[in-house]
Amino acid sequence: MGTAREIIRYKKVRGGRIIEVVIWHLSEPLPGSTHPYKYRLFYGQADGSCIVRYDNERGKGDHRHVAGNEESYTFSTLRKLVADFEADIERI
């Protein structure tokens, strides 16, 4: 994977639920992604159960999990990624 540099990391509690965002800048895209970022955006219970999660895995590419369903996600920018994640949280 080459070098990775963490560019965003925060964790907060909203309404008794956890929001955690971690984004790294990579020296090259992960297989399955076309951009140089590795990310995990999580919204869920304190016990770790997921309500909304956006992530990209090696070979699997960009996708999101919402209310138990997994679907592909089209990445365009980091700003849009975070905005889409927040919009999904608001809809739940």
Give the pLDDT score at 71: 95
Cβ-contact 30, 4 below 8 angstroms:
no
Residue 1 pLDDT exceeds 70? no
Which stretches does DSSP call E strand in the chain?
Answer: 4-14, 17-26, 37-44, 50-57, 61-66, 69-72
Can you give the pTM of this predicted structure? 0.91
Per residue in 60-91, pLDDT tens? 899 999 988 999 999 999 999 999 999 999 99
Q: What is the pLDDT of residues 16-39, one digit of tens each?
A: 899 999 999 999 999 999 999 999
pLDDT of residue 15: 85
